[in-house]
Amino acid sequence: MRMKKIIYLLPLFAMLAGCTKDITVDLPEANPKLVIEGGIEPGGIPWVIISKSVGYFDPVDSTTLANNIVTNATVIVSDGTTTDTLVLTFDPNYIIPLVYKGSNVIGQVGRTYTLSVTTPDGKSATSTTTIPTPLPLDSLWFLVEPEPSNQDSLGFVWAHMSDPAGLGNGYRWFAKRLHKDDVFVPPFGSAFDDKFIDGKSFDFAYTRGSLPGSSAPDDNNAERNYFKLGDTIVVKFCSIGQKEVDFFRTYEIEVSNNGNPFAAPGVIKSNIVNGLGVWCGYGAALDTLVAQ
C-alpha cells in the first residue's frame, strides 16, 4: 500500500514542478481580533490573559508576541450579583505572565460568570461560562510502560471514572509533579466529553504534559511525556462545559496540524463573542498519588 502511494505521488510532483508561474496575490489586511484565555474555579478568583491576533503570514516570535499582548483593557467579570474589575498583574506561573486578576468575585459551583473586555481602540468581546459540579475520580494509580524497553521506571497515570448518566458532561485533565512542576499542565488531548462514555465506568490513562517551548531536561530526553517512579503527582480533573470542550479539542487539532501543508484547514470553536479563545469555568477535583 505504501509503494502505491509513492508511485501515484511522484508524477503529481513532477507535473507541479514542470508547470510553474509567478502569481502575485494581494491579500486583505488582517483585522486583529482580541484573543482571550481565562478561567475561574470554585473558591478561586477569575483570571484572564489578552492578546491580539496576527495575520496568517506575519512572523510569530517572542517580539511579535510581546507587541500583541494587551495590557490596557478594561476587564469585568460578573456573577449576576457581584461585579469585579480585574487588575493587570505579573505572574511568572503563566506562559504569558501578564494576567488580569480579580478580587471580589469568587468561584462557586453552579454559578454563571459573564466576561466583558473592552480596549481603548474600541474593540470589545464578551463570553459566559458556568462552573459545573466537580466529578472526583474513583481511583488513580501509576503503571510503568513496557516501552521504551530500556527504561524500567517511566509510565503513565491511570484513572478509573464513572460518568453520570445523561449526555452533556465535559472534562479536562491537568497534572503536576510536586517539587518539579510549578503549575498544572494539560497533556495533548486533555479535554473530552461523554458522547461515547455516557453513564459508563472505565479506566483511562494520560501521558505527562509539558509547557510549550520547555527547556527542562526531562521534557527533552527519554522522560518526555512520562511520569517517573518516585514522583508525587497531583491530578486536577475538571468538569467543563461542551463549548469549552469544543474549543480545546479544535485548538489542539490546529496545534498538531501546524506546519503540515497537507492538513485540511480547520476552525477553532471559540466561546468568545467578537473574539477568539476561551472563557472557562472549571469544576476542579484534586487527587494525589505517589508513583510506586
Residue 258's pLDDT is what? 66
Q: Which helix (H) or strand (E) holds 142?
A: strand 139-144
User: For all residues of the chain together, what is the average pLDDT?
Assistant: 87
- Percent of the chain at pLDDT > 90 equals 74
User: In this predicted structure, what is the pLDDT of residue 212?
Assistant: 86
Global pTM? Answer: 0.86
CA-closest candidate to residue 129, choices 228, 246, 252:
246
**Residue with more model confidence, 54 or 102:** 102
What does the pLDDT read at residue 58? Answer: 61
159, burial (CB in 10 Å: exposed 0-12, middle 13-18, buried 19+): buried
User: Does the structure show a pLDDT above 90 at 10?
Assistant: no
Residue 21 has pLDDT above 60, yes or no: no
CA distance from start to end of the chain: 43
pLDDT at residue 6, as a whole number: 30
Is the pLDDT reported for residue 248 higher than 50?
yes
**Cell numbers linked to 160:** 478509573
For residue 145, the tally of other CB atoms under 10 A from its CB is 16
Does the pLDDT of residue 170 top 60, yes or no?
yes
- Report whether pLDDT(190) > 60: yes
Would you tell me how many other CB atoms lie within 10 Å of the CB of residue 230? Answer: 11
Summarised one tens digit per residue, pLDDT across range 87-119 is: 999 999 888 899 999 999 999 999 999 999 999
Full set of structural domains in the chain with CATH: 34-130 (2.60.40), 139-253+283-290 (2.60.40)
Tens digits of residue pLDDT in 57-94? 565 566 666 788 999 999 999 999 999 999 999 999 88
What is the per-residue pLDDT across 116-166, written as a single tens digit (0 to 9) for each? 999 999 999 999 999 999 999 999 999 998 876 557 899 999 999 999 999
CB–CB of 158/138 below 8 Å? no
Q: Tell me the C-alpha distance between 105 and 124, whole Å.
A: 21
Report the percent of the chain where pLDDT is more than 70.
82
Please report the pLDDT score of residue 93 as a whole number: 87
State the Cα–Cα distance between residues 77 and 125, nearest whole angstrom. Answer: 12
Cell of 283: 469544576
